[in-house]
Structure 1
Amino acid sequence: MDRVGTSVENDVSKELSQARILITGLTGTSGIDVARAFADLGVRLVVHTTELSPELVELFAFLSQSASEIRLHTLDISSANSAARFAQTSAQAFGGVDAAINMASISADEIDAIRDDRDLDVLIQEKLAPLAQLTRVIANRMCVVLSEGLILNVLNMPEPRDARSAAVAGFARTALASMIAQEAREWASKGIRINGVGPRSYFDGTAGAYLSNEPDIASLALHLASRRGRALSGHVFDASGMGG
């Protein structure tokens, strides 16, 4: 992670100015720093949220002051089909997409509701299917307009508090990594880079480097969207304590 510094915004500001950026799954606890980081560079921003809280309405007004252009969408994209329809529409907003950051979250309540392996399989499928569909439709749109680009899929989850939740995190990360690897291979020849951010599966703090907060994820997204990140595809970066 030493390649991703907090000063990356200064290095890529000119490069990404006017870039077409799509951010999906924005909530009051996920994606705010990512949206701010890109908006501050003067990008053309498409933001998706289904959580129109007063705080997010205020955030959207704030983003409008710095982004070159901005569009807001509030459609439900929780199913694979609805995610595909949304991606087809949003990818055309500015004639294409240069980078897309798609976010999903597993909550503590959802973890507590898991009773057996089938419940776990269903939960992970519900979280990853929309991300996979968004990835495929956006990548296909990039191909149609002959544009290379980045798709970063972020799966947030609270820090594991015991062996059970650590096992859920491990399963979720493995499933995300499998999806990322498959899509990265599929689109590599088109110059489209697919990466992910997933939960680390341990809970004793003994493993290596990881993203510890959302500003870290924002810096990573900027890095991957820039020329500096164009050699990176098929990677899943570990994050800790993201989500509620």
Structure 2
Amino acid sequence: MYMDRVGTSVESDVSSELARARILITGLTGIAGVDVARAFADLKARLVVHTTDLSPELVELAALLTQSASEIRLHTLDISTADSAAKFAQTSAQTYGGLDAAINMASISSAEIRAIRADGDLEALVSAKLAPLAQLTRVIANRMCVVLSEGMVLNVLKMPEPHDGRTAAIAGYARTALASMIAREAREWAGKGIRINGVGPATYYDGSRSGSYLANEPDVASLALHLASRRGRSLSGHVFDAGGLDF
């Protein structure tokens, strides 16, 4: 774990560095990714934001981001499949002539967890969640290479905190699959100056937590800022654990 190297308040150290940085944020909702988007907007980054949540909370958030970000482009396309994610990444990566960082978010809901009845169900669910993230990663990384730009991709897979052995096992499977994808992509792009990292779900329950965890969304936002900055350029191929809170 590298959490000891990531402070909970890094904004002052990276504010000038990330001003007008080109940042893609996908999977934003009114309750997930809010602090991440606001953190980059407050640093005057140029944002490409994807959401399929058109709730009043998200509309209000978009208005706030517009006031603080240097520039912002908002997209509401469905990117829940690998093909649609790839097409969106091709377009979004060219918005400002390239990207400096991308934060892609996906979630496994309580309803989806309850619907799992067999191993095949779990495999299909996790594959469906990770396929768009993998395609976003590959297309964005390739675009960074084309424009000769170093950069960072952070893939976030969240789910409710495990409350029993079953949900802990599901979280463990999902985290292992995410870690495998992150490691594979990190190796692929390592020689080109592109870092690939992830945030995975907690795998503990019943007070069995150990080690360092991201406890909430502000922690995730601080991590994203750290990894997007020069301070995070030595980190690639890592999956950071989220403490199970619904960030």
- What's the TM-score bracket when you normalise by the shorter of the two chains? over 0.9
Q: Which residue, out of 195, 199, 202, partners 1:200?
A: 202
Matches of 1:205 and 1:5, distance apart in 2: 24
Offset of 1:28 from its aligned partner?
A: 1.6
Superposition pairs of residues 101-116 of structure 1, within 5 angstroms = 101-116=103-118
Distance between the aligned counterparts of 1:56 and 1:37, measured in 2? 16
**Matches of 1:29 and 1:79 in 2, distance apart?**
22
Unmatched tracts of structure 2, length 5 or more = none
SS of the counterpart of 2:130? helix
Match of 1:212 among 208, 212, 215: 215
User: Which residue number in structure 2 is paired with residue 74 of structure 1?
Assistant: 76
Q: Match of 1:55?
A: 57
- Normalising to structure 1: TM-score of the pair? 0.98
Q: What residue ranges of structure 1 are gaps of 5+ in the alignment?
A: none
Residue number in structure 2 paired with 1:131: 133
Matched residues, percent identical? 78
Length-normalised TM-score, structure 2: 0.97
Residue identity opposite 1:138 in structure 2: I
Question: Residue 86 of structure 1 is aligned with which of 72, 85, 88?
Answer: 88
Q: Which residue, out of 83, 89, 98, partners 1:96? A: 98
Instruction: Give the Å deviation of 1:240.
Output: 1.8
Amino acid at match of 1:230: R
Residue 241 (structure 1) shift: 2.1
Give CA deviations for 1:38-79 in whole Å, capped at 9, x if unaligned: 000000001000011111111011011110000000000000
**1:229 corresponds to which letter in structure 2?**
G
Counterpart of 2:28, as a letter, is: L
For the 8 Å contact 1:107–1:243, the answer to whether it is kept is: no
1:222 aligned to 2:242? no
Superposed displacement of residue 205, structure 1: 3.4
In structure 2, how many angstroms separate the alpha carbons of the residues matched to 1:172 and 1:13?
Answer: 34
Q: Is the 8 A contact 1:184 1:195 kept in 2?
A: yes
Runs of 4+ in 1 over 6 A off after TM superposition: none
Deviations 1:141-200 (A, max 9, x none): 001100000000000111001000000000000000000000000000000000000012
Q: How does 1:134-213 map to 2 (within 5 A)?
A: 134-203=136-205, 204-213=207-216
